[in-house]
Structure 1
Amino acid sequence: MGKLSKYEKETIVNFNEKESEATIYTHNADLKRRLAEFSRKYPTLCRLKCQNMEGGVPYVMDKSRLSIRLVPPYSEERRAAARKYAKQHGFQILQIDEKIA
């Protein structure tokens, strides 16, 4: 089978009200890394089912460990404060490089 497009590389979270486990199927590299790390640390709460040929991985995990966080947009006041802070303090890594040189 050919390479999947970005559109085809899905993340699917599936659970129901009755069962205590959720299934997470993903192609997302960061989420795959985080799930692998979590399953190594907590093998009784999260486990890899199998890998498929296209690179997706399904994990089964205790539903109580799954969280969906909704983040509201920043207020204009918070954005203005962040801009002000960034202008005052600049990009810190550049200051470190200047001291080395």
Structure 2
Amino acid sequence: MTRLTKYEKETIILTNEEDDFWNVFTYNKGLQRRFMSFVEQYPENCQFKSQNNEGGMTFEIDKGRLSVRLTAPYSEERRKTSSEYAKKYGVHHIKK
């Protein structure tokens, strides 16, 4: 069996306009833990559906319990202010 690359380890959020739920498939371990915790706390709103042989998990969650947040990019002024603050207080930027 070959291992999946990071590129192949997808997170897929799928729904249609008729359904009242989202299907979420993910290999992301942190997201899987968060979903499993949510399943345990709120079984009426979220269910674990399946796991594949490579470690991917599928969950079904009510549409009202999952949101997508879009964030605008920082302005040049905000980046400059943040950089100055970080330099002043010893926080270093790490490039990926």
Higher helix share: 1
What residue number does 2:9 align with?
9
- SS class of match (1:25): strand
Separation in 2 of the partners of 1:50 and 1:19? 19
Separation in 1 of the partners of 2:29 and 2:71? 22
Within 5 Å, which residues of 2 pair with 1:1-101? 1-91=1-91
Q: Which runs of 5+ in 1 are unaligned?
A: 92-101
- SS class of match (2:51): coil
Range that drifts further, 24-33 or 55-64: 24-33
Q: Note the aligned Cα RMSD (angstroms).
A: 1.2
Q: Which runs of 5+ in 2 are unaligned?
A: 92-96
1:2 CA drift (Å): 2.0
Separation in 2 of the partners of 1:15 and 1:40? 22
The runs of 4+ residues in structure 1 deviating greater than 2 Å are none
Range that drifts further, 71-80 or 28-37: 28-37
Separation in 1 of the partners of 2:38 and 2:4? 26
Question: Highest Rg: 1 or 2?
Answer: 1
Separation in 1 of the partners of 2:37 and 2:77? 37
Separation in 1 of the partners of 2:65 and 2:16? 14
Separation in 2 of the partners of 1:27 and 1:44? 23
Q: How many residues align?
A: 91
Instruction: State the one-letter code of the partner of 1:18.
Output: E
